[in-house]
């Protein structure tokens, strides 16, 4: 099989790409700027082809609500917050998409791009998740499900994503874990497609949790699987799901045995909620099954979610196992295809 080039022309990777979802268990408050360097070195050293800056300063919601005019995070200091304060951000005024205070986040990403031997993705927390983690304390919007709120948040996130691309981010990942808990799907679809139209980059969407279950789809007013709803969002190039921690999700892949998925599927193949390190064989079997269903060129290997809650050593070992298993799948499939040529 010919070598494919996915990220940069000078970095050849096999067709089974290997990436991370985002956070890494090293904190800026403990190590300063070295936390970013250590996160990048860990991810690349374990074998990932596309890495993140580790999101070392804060949790995913506070990371971005801190940057957006109209939010109040109770003076949560982005430089030092290492845990969820339990209060959550509050929308206290109309979101001003023209005012984003993202200098710190962009400087972190620029540093990661500068030092990384691998391409670095930019990561933003999506509008649906931001809204579902917020309280509304203003008359500027009729409710948390006001379409104007989703539009204003999306415009602010577009500005941040473009700033990320300006400093060298390879692509943009949108984190939307709340898509799996039954948030109004018409607003999720609207905001994701809105972002995709305006961000000049490949877009990956991350949705963790149970996506095999059915929810009321407010697009069609019918019960549909979360997976099928999300795979219908236009403009998204790849979608990541948790398969290791939610084995029932594997059942959605069978529908592609005689066809091709409309997007690449990022297969979460190591758990991020358990300190137990998977065996190479366990991860291999999951990736092999996904490749059989969706086609090997449509599968990307990744952890189930961000790895912030794990110990650093365990996160590294899990990522190493994942990368070894992905390489073995690619090698075996290449060998088997050569036998029938």
Output the pLDDT for position 194. Answer: 98
DSSP calls for 31-53 = HTTHHHHHHHHHHHHHT-SBB--
Q: Report strand pairing: 203-206 vs 122-125.
A: unpaired
The answer to whether position 293 is within a domain reads: yes
The answer to whether position 74 is within a domain reads: yes
Give CA–CA dist 155/201, Å, rounded.
16
Output the pLDDT for position 74. Answer: 61
How large a percentage of the chain has pLDDT more than 70? Answer: 90
Q: How confident is the model at residue 79 (pLDDT cuts 50, 70, 90)?
A: very low
Which range marks the domain in which residue 27 is found? 14-339
| For residue 295, pLDDT beyond 80 | yes
**CATH code at 151?**
3.20.20.210
Q: Which residues contact 52 (CB under 8 A, 6 or more apart)?
A: 20, 21, 22, 23, 24, 39, 43, 112, 120, 121, 123
Q: What is the mean pLDDT of the chain?
A: 90
The answer to whether position 285 is within a domain reads: yes
Output the pLDDT for position 62. Answer: 80
The answer to whether position 315 is within a domain reads: yes
DSSP calls for 148-174 = HHHHHHHHHHHHHHHHHHHTT-S-EEE
The answer to whether position 327 is within a domain reads: yes
The answer to whether position 328 is within a domain reads: yes
Report how many domains make up the chain.
Answer: 1
The answer to whether position 281 is within a domain reads: yes
Q: Is 240 left (phi over 0), alpha (psi -120 to 50) or beta?
A: beta
Tens digits of residue pLDDT in 224-265: 999 999 999 999 999 999 999 999 999 999 999 988 999 999
Cβ proximity of 166 and 122 under 8 Å: no
Q: What angle do CA 263, 268, 272 make, to 5 degrees?
A: 150
The answer to whether position 176 is within a domain reads: yes
Tens digits of residue pLDDT in 91-132: 999 999 998 999 999 999 999 999 999 999 999 999 999 999
Cβ proximity of 207 and 180 under 8 Å: yes
């Amino acid at each position: 099989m010919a070598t494919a080039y996915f990220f940069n022309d000078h970095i050849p990777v096999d067709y089974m790409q290997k990436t991370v979802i985002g956070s890494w268990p090293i904190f800026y408050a403990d190590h300063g700027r070295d936390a970013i360097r250590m996160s990048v070195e860990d991810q690349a050293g374990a074998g990932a082809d596309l890495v993140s800056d580790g999101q070392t300063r804060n949790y995913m919601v506070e990371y971005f609500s801190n940057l957006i005019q109209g939010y109040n995070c109770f003076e949560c200091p982005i430089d030092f917050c290492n845990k969820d304060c339990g209060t959550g951000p509050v929308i206290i005024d109309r979101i001003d998409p023209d005012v984003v205070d993202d200098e710190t986040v962009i400087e972190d990403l620029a540093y990661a791009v500068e030092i990384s031997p691998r391409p670095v993705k930019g990561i933003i927390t999506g509008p649906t998740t931001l809204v579902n983690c917020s309280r509304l304390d203003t008359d500027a919007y009729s409710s948390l499900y006001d379409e104007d709120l989703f539009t204003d948040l999306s415009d602010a996130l577009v500005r941040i994503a473009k700033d990320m691309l300006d400093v060298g981010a390879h692509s943009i990942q949108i984190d939307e874990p709340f898509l799996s808990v039954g948030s109004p799907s018409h607003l999720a679809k609207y905001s994701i497609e809105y972002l995709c139209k305006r961000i000049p980059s490949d877009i990956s969407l991350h949705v963790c949790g149970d996506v095999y279950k059915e929810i009321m789809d407010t697009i069609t007013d019918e019960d549909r699987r979360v997976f099928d709803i999300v795979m219908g969002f236009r403009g998204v190039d790849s979608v990541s799901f948790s398969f290791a921690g939610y084995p029932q999700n594997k059942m959605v892949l069978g529908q592609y045995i005689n066809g091709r998925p409309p997007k690449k599927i990022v297969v979460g193949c190591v758990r991020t909620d358990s300190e137990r390190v998977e065996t190479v064989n366990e991860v291999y079997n999951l990736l092999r099954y996904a490749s059989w269903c969706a086609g090997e060129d449509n599968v990307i290997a990744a952890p189930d979610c961000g790895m912030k809650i794990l110990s650093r050593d365990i996160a590294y070992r899990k990522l190493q196992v994942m990368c070894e298993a992905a390489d073995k799948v690619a090698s075996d499939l290449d060998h088997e295809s050569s036998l029938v040529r």
